[in-house]
Amino acid sequence: MSQVNGYPTARDNLPNSPSLATNRADRRIPPPKQLMPNKPVPPPPTTNAAAGTSQPFDVLIIGSGLAGMSLALRLAENQKVALLTKGELLDAASAWAQGGIAAVLDDSDSAENHIRDTLVAGAGLCNEAAVRFVVENGRRAVEWLVAQGVPFTMDESNHAELHLTREGGHSHRRIVHAADATGRAVQKTLVQQLKSHPNIEVLEHRIAVDLITSKRLGRANENRCYGAYVLDKASGRVVTIDARFTVLATGGAGKVYLYTTNPDVATGDGVAMAWRAGCPVANMEFIQFHPTCLYHPQAKSYLITEAVRGEGGLLKIPGAEERFMLAHDERAELAPRDIVARAIDFEMKKRGLDFVHLDISHKSPEFLKEHFPNIYAKCLSLGIDITREPIPVVPAAHYTCGGVVSDLRGRTDVDNLYAIGEVSCTGLHGANRLASNSLLECLVFSEAVQHDIAAQAAPSFPVLPDWDDSRVTNADEEVIISHNWDELRRFMWDYVGIVRTDKRLERAMHRINLLKSEINDYYASFRVTNDLIELRNLVQTAELIVRSAMARKESRGLHYSLDYPATLPSAIDTVLKP
């Protein structure tokens, strides 16, 4: 068994993960359409319902991004589903995705090409079984969205075919998109169906406090999840949600950094809850920084999609307006995100710049308005006309490539607990995510989880205790939360950003330990609030990121260390166990 810092690797640790040494036919699990079909299940348990604090469901899905929404719709035919979201349904990171969904749809492309591009971007750390599984199910995932009515952009020369664009790291045009706002178009389409489905209860403005596990219940002979304790933000009450199966679809942890393209809800909740429940996490050091976030005081977390570079956008030094990417990589602007982000970071620090320019003004105004209408409108509202002038951009934390270790059916190490989408780590992304593979991952694994849940018998269910806050009081100084939140995000940006050193990581860990002690005392003494829950999760996630980064004594993919600039011959996952 291979190890990093004493921990088994994800390839060894993935439950039911096929061996990479087997032949192709055996290397992947059957695609979802070959798994057991949906079948009716008995009604969910009604334990505690009379007390008014318990709500029973067949499946609890925590998170309302594309992974959570698509799974809810797939399950609802035969299951009673609760879809939990911290804000509104469209607040998830999926709705912010501009670029699109990568899938092999053109005759000039092939699954082998897409697999190869993914493996190259992943810098040797991808689980090829996971890569092949996702890529080979890509076409059906897109077809499912088309069947739901998602208004994808069609090809100008053949209106019966989807328009395909290209992004950094892809050798072919294979990105299906809806202009430059794919995520929002997909989410809006699914929201309409979710809200009208009789078997789906959407629970908005609620945040999970913690998972309810057999360990919490003192059932030593089991390792199972039974649901979650959930804070209703409107009433301030914590309710018990009983569920036969619980799915973490909580997205990433971009808010652990000062600058991020993520929405405010991306606070690492799923990773932190799974860790406390006993799940291993893997490769948390690999945080993808998007190279091009709009730099403007009035533009909060506004992403400039990689498709702008895919369609000919050029990165330049402000003032001189000279290109610089060819000095860093022969693929220039089409290099993978980690290379582009480091190149921008290098040029900014070398020259003392606050930003660099992304220039696509050489394209016709008609082309830009058709392909990037939202970017055009947003920039114009800020006084930037992209048809005439470059866009000021900076890197920002964008995607968490690591996460909760899960297999190709979405299962974690805790029975009846699944993790899908950005919160999970299946080995698909390796050390660096290939552009537009993330929405594809959400769709493929939501189908896999649906079939796995449908194939299982209903588990027995214990009586779940209500949340006990009888020994805590209301907080007296909530300024502690806001101050610690700000401190955490600033030192994570300074010490655990695009370029790292041992000394910076040690400083970050020292501060994390101090914050954890303060926050745990606060959590034990006062009633939970949304901000306290998120801060507790952010600090836990930050600790896992730093511990993972400290364990990796090399530079690979998204993890770059000045102390260890070389890449080791063997690619080994970092897996941490509670």
Q: Are 212 and 227 in contact (CB under 8 A)?
A: yes
**Cα separation of 514 and 74, whole Å?**
44
**Alpha-carbon dihedral sign for residues 6, 277, 43, 465:** positive
Instruction: Find where tokens 């057991």 sit.
Output: 36
**Cα separation of 186 and 188, whole Å?**
6
**Cα separation of 2 and 10, whole Å?**
9
Non-local (6+) Cβ contacts of 222 within 8 A are 214, 415
Give the CA count within 13 Å in the CB-facing half-sphere of 329. 18
**Cα separation of 564 and 572, whole Å?**
15
**Alpha-carbon dihedral sign for residues 463, 467, 468, 470:** negative
Q: Are 164 and 105 in contact (CB under 8 A)?
A: yes
Q: Name the burial class of residue 534, with classes exposed (0-12), middle (13-18) and buried (19+) by CB atoms within 10 angstroms of its CB.
A: buried
Q: Are 256 and 396 in contact (CB under 8 A)?
A: no
Helix or strand (DSSP H, E) at 344: helix 337-351
**Cα separation of 392 and 382, whole Å?**
11
Q: Which pair of tokens denotes residue 208? A: 């999970």
Q: Which amino acid is at 311?
A: E
Strand partners, 224: 415
49-to-240, 301, 442, 463, 478 alpha-carbon distances in Å: 9, 42, 33, 11, 33
Chain centroid, CA 310 distance in Å: 22
344-to-126, 375, 386 alpha-carbon distances in Å: 25, 21, 20
b or e along 498-524 (b: 16 or more beta carbons within 10 Å of the residue's beta carbon)? Answer: bebeeebbebbbebbeebbebbeebbe
Q: What's 180's DSSP letter? A: T
- Is 337 noted as a catalytic residue in this protein? yes
**Cα separation of 127 and 73, whole Å?**
28
Alpha-carbon Rg for the chain, nearest whole angstrom, is 23
Instruction: Find where tokens 């998602």 sit.
Output: 150
Strand partners, 230: 208, 239
Instruction: Find where tokens 């057999």 sit.
Output: 214
132, 337, 409, 536: the active-site residue: 337
Non-local (6+) Cβ contacts of 419 within 8 A are 247, 248, 249, 270, 274, 279, 403, 404, 406, 410, 412
Q: Which pair of tokens denotes residue 567? A: 């890449």
Catalytic residue ranges:
337
